Structure formats: C-alpha cells, structure tokens
Amino acid sequence: MTSGETPATEVVRAFLESHRTIEAVLARRYPEFSALPAVLAGVRERELGREGRTADGFTYKVHGRGCRMSDPDWRVVDIDLLPDGSEAFDPWRLEQFARSRGDDVPPRKGELIDACRELKEAGALREPETGWFGSADRQSAAQRRSWSGYARPGDGPGESDFPGPSLCSAPSP
C-alpha cells in the first residue's frame, strides 16, 4: 500500500494487477483469454472447456456471463461481461478477492465503491454501469472486440446476441 492509500484502494489495485497477471498466464495456454467475449464464445462453441487449469496452477471457471480465475495461491479474480460488452467487476467480487488473498476483514462495500470512484476520477477505472467497474486502459480494446463473433457485421450488441444466461443454468451472484 502506498503512503496515503486506503485499504480499499489497495484491494482494487491488487485486484487489477492479479487480473492482468492471471489473464496473461491463461492466454499463453488458452488463446481465448485475449478477451472475455472470446472465452465465452469458446465455451459456447465447445472449443474451450467450461473449466481449466494450467500445469503451474492457474485456473478458470466460466459462469453465466463471466469467468472466475485464480492464481496458484488461490487469489480469485471474477470478471463479468456486461450487456454493452464491457468487462467489469463489482464490490462483491472485490470482497471475494480480498478474502481469497487472506484479508480477514476486507473493506466494506461502500469503501470499495468509494475507492473505485476515486480511481475512476484519476482515470484508472471506468464505470460502464452504476456499481460496476473496469480498467480504463482496456476500454477501447474491449469495446472493439466485445461482440465479435456474436453479431453480424454492422449489428450492435442486442439481447439476442448476448451469450450470458445461455452459458450456465446457475445465475451469477
């Protein structure tokens, strides 16, 4: 934690760093991990298993409209795909991450939202839907790739194109 940084801000920064690391390792083994929509499409088309594990202990499990990933130390990063194509997380996912890395008392939901909004004001995060956040540096790439494979050229995202609920019978939390 840097000087003056709140515990909630440190959790958000650590979550983002873990996400980058886990996704990069998984992408070396599973090319679909270049973007969450590609992961969901790979599962839907049965080109990628719903769950996987690398030889060095990184794991993933696709659920509903997202993917839960972990590193060999079982730090859990869970990302969802929003209807607009944004890859995002909410305070519940940040709390799960904090608990998975051993924080006995993770920051409260309000503290996590405040930390995310401060990071949004600083340009590090974006808030595509109220209470859902994503890395600002991934916005343009995620938006460009978000619906490739789901819609015909020229079509935008729409309810019939969204793969979320059809992937899994259990809703995400």
d(C-alpha 94, C-alpha 59), whole Å: 18
Asked whether residue 137 is assigned to any structural domain, the reply reads yes
**Number of domains comprising the chain:** 1
Asked whether residue 54 is assigned to any structural domain, the reply reads yes
Average pLDDT, the chain: 82
Kindly indicate the confidence band of residue 4, based on its pLDDT and cuts at 50, 70 and 90: confident
96: containing domain: 7-149
d(C-alpha 94, C-alpha 14), whole Å: 10
**Percent of the chain whose pLDDT exceeds 90:** 71
Asked whether residue 75 is assigned to any structural domain, the reply reads yes
Q: Which pTM does this prediction carry? A: 0.79
CA nearest neighbour of 122 among 108, 136, 141, 109: 136
The whole-number pLDDT of residue 138 equals 67
pLDDT digits (tens, 9 = 90+) for 102-143: 999 999 999 999 999 999 999 999 999 999 999 988 653 444
